Amino acid sequence: QFEWAWQHPNASHRLLTPPLRRPREQPISFALRILPRLLRAPPWSRLPLKIRWLRPPRPALELAPPPHVVEEEGVGLPRLKRKKGRSQEVDVVIDECGLCMETQATPLLRCLRPQCSMAAHPPCLARLFLAREPQQLLPLGGACP
C-alpha cells in the first residue's frame, strides 16, 4: 500500500494535500520530496519502517523522516550462513509474562539490557506503552517496566 501511494500520490487518500510536481522537476526528485510526507501520514506514521539508500551520498530531503524511521546505507541485506548437517534440537523454555503473569504460547519479548530479566507478551507491552495514547494501535517506544 505504501508503494502504491508513493507512486500515485494524487490518487491516494493518505495525503490530505498532495504536492504538485514542480515545472521541470524530475520524477525521482518528486518522489524523494513526497517520501517524508508519506512516512508521516497514517497508517505509516507509526510503523517501524527503514529507508535503505543504495548509493552514497544520501540525497538531501526537503523534510526529515519521522524520528522512528531508520535510515541505512548499503546494497542489500546481510546474508546468513547456513550450517550444513543435521538440524539441532532446541530446548524450549516456557516463561511467564512479567506483566500478566500468564504462560501462553505467544513468544515473549525480552528487555535489551543484559542485566534485566524482564520478559512480556507483545500485547501486554503494547497495552502498557499505549496507556497514554489509547487511540493508537502501535507504540513508538516505551520504557522497560
Instruction: Give the per-residue pLDDT at 72.
Output: 86
The answer for 137, left when phi > 0, alpha when psi is -120 to 50, beta otherwise, is alpha
- Assess whether pLDDT exceeds 50 at residue 121: yes
- Assess whether pLDDT exceeds 70 at residue 136: yes
Q: Three cell numbers at 103?
A: 504462560
Residue with the bigger pLDDT between 19 and 27: it is 27
pLDDT in tens, 67-98: 888 888 877 665 666 666 555 554 445 578 88
Domain boundaries, given as residue ranges, for the chain: 1-73, 93-144
CB within 8 A of 64, min separation 6: which ones? 36
* Contact indicator for 136, 46 with CB cutoff of 8 Å: yes
Q: Three cell numbers at 15?
A: 495525503
Mean pLDDT value across residues 48-53: 85
Instruction: Give the per-residue pLDDT at 20.
Output: 85
Alpha-carbon distance of 43 to 7, in angstroms, equals 17
Mean pLDDT, the chain, rounded, equals: 81
Instruction: Give the per-residue pLDDT at 94.
Output: 55
Instruction: Give the per-residue pLDDT at 86.
Output: 57
Mean pLDDT value across residues 34-57: 85
Instruction: Give the per-residue pLDDT at 91.
Output: 47
- Assess whether pLDDT exceeds 90 at residue 46: no
Look up the pTM and report it.
0.58
Instruction: Give the per-residue pLDDT at 24.
Output: 93
Q: Three cell numbers at 96?
A: 511467564
For residue 118, give the 3-state DSSP assignment: coil
